[in-house]
Amino acid sequence: MAADLYPSSPAPSAASQTRFQKLRKRLHKDRALLLLALPGILYFLIYKYLPMFGLVIAFNDYSPFQGFFGSEWVGLGQFRKIFSDTEVLRVIWNTLFISFLQIVFAFPIPIVLALMLNAVRNQLYKRIIQTVVYLPHFLSWVVVIGICVLFLKSEGLINEILKSIGLPAIPFLTDPAYFKPLIVGQVIWKETGWGTIIFLAALAGVNPNLYEAAVMDGANRWRQTWHITLPSIRSTIIILLILRLGSVLDSGFEQIWLMLNPFNKDTGNVLDTFVYFKGIEQSDYSFATAVGLFKGVVGLILVMGANYLAKRFGEEGVY
């Protein structure tokens, strides 16, 4: 089924005869390399590009029995449904709100931690701290949320401590008000250490002469940080912030899916989880695909826009 996806060789015409022959010669010369690339090419065609043709079901009323092209064509009907469905609007709001919280609270913390690590002069101490703070990045979300649940459930460690000092237990996992703070807190715990790596690399590139000059001028450590360190990593911060803004519609699928329960579904459901529930659990393939496509297209525009912005800021851009 992948074979017919191959771009067929262009039909020879009199004018392009020589070009065609050149192409054939090139193909012949590179045949070993192309053979080597075959698994990779097939992978991208089947699992990345074939699904893009499957997006056609966002424009019809797909039923598995009538197939991709046999189902009733509804044009933009599914998309109109997106904006009249209050549940979808709520889900979009949740997605943006969680992303906003991540950017405000989880984004700056690795910068602060990187500055703190950079100020450590004892290399052994620095290495030990780094070893510990990078570790959570390599744990699965099931493990991180599992530990979180064990600590926060009604008879978990935190509530036992609260009760033992005479305070009432807090329903962290069932009260929807705690859902978003918990999501952000888990991301901070898991990814802060890992997030420092890129800033530490930028900090390592700062010219030490600048600090010497600053000390000569009588600048203390705070002023050195403010006037030398931060300006030298400004471009890294701006690039990463802009990229983060480009992915505001991604709010951590696996994490949120695992944290959802009947109590918090209203505040916690985001675009990705919504697509899962609609498409996989309720088999409303067309509507779920339309929501996914909407997210994909807006995401693409945001990333391109973010990249454009980065270039406007005089940075190199990423793509």
- Nearest approach, Cβ of residue 299 and other proteins (Å): 7
CA 316, CA 314: separation in Å to the nearest integer?
7
- Nearest approach, Cβ of residue 182 and other proteins (Å): 13
- In 3D space, the residue among 238, 118, 102 whose CA is nearest the CA of residue 182 turns out to be 102
206 Cβ contact partners less than 8 Å away, ≥ 6 residues apart: 228, 229, 232, 233
CA angle at 105 for the pair 119 and 100, rounded to the nearest 5°: 145
Residue 106 DSSP code: I
Question: What distance lies between CA 247 and its chain's CA centroid?
Answer: 6
- Nearest approach, Cβ of residue 201 and other proteins (Å): 6
Considering the complex, state which of residue 66 and residue 140 has its C-beta at the smaller distance from other proteins: 140
Considering the complex, state which of residue 90 and residue 153 has its C-beta at the smaller distance from other proteins: 153
- Nearest approach, Cβ of residue 41 and other proteins (Å): 7
Considering the complex, state which of residue 176 and residue 191 has its C-beta at the smaller distance from other proteins: 191
Considering the complex, state which of residue 72 and residue 160 has its C-beta at the smaller distance from other proteins: 160
Burial 144-163 (b: 16+ CB within 10 A, else e): bbeebeeebbeebeebeeee
Considering the complex, state which of residue 98 and residue 306 has its C-beta at the smaller distance from other proteins: 306
- Nearest approach, Cβ of residue 173 and other proteins (Å): 10
Tokens standing for residue 144: 């991180």
CA 149, CA 161: separation in Å to the nearest integer?
15
CA 319, CA 307: separation in Å to the nearest integer?
7
Considering the complex, state which of residue 14 and residue 164 has its C-beta at the smaller distance from other proteins: 164
- Nearest approach, Cβ of residue 109 and other proteins (Å): 10
**Is 206 in contact with 123 (CB distance < 8 Å)?**
no
Considering the complex, state which of residue 94 and residue 286 has its C-beta at the smaller distance from other proteins: 286
Reported as type and span, the H/E element at residue 60 is strand 60-61
- Nearest approach, Cβ of residue 119 and other proteins (Å): 5
By DSSP bridging, strand 60-61 and strand 72-73 are antiparallel
CA 106, CA 174: separation in Å to the nearest integer?
23
- Nearest approach, Cβ of residue 54 and other proteins (Å): 3
Residue 297 three-state SS: helix
- Nearest approach, Cβ of residue 100 and other proteins (Å): 22
Considering the complex, state which of residue 1 and residue 14 has its C-beta at the smaller distance from other proteins: 1
Residue 6 DSSP code: S
Considering the complex, state which of residue 102 and residue 196 has its C-beta at the smaller distance from other proteins: 196
- In 3D space, the residue among 125, 313, 138 whose CA is nearest the CA of residue 237 turns out to be 313
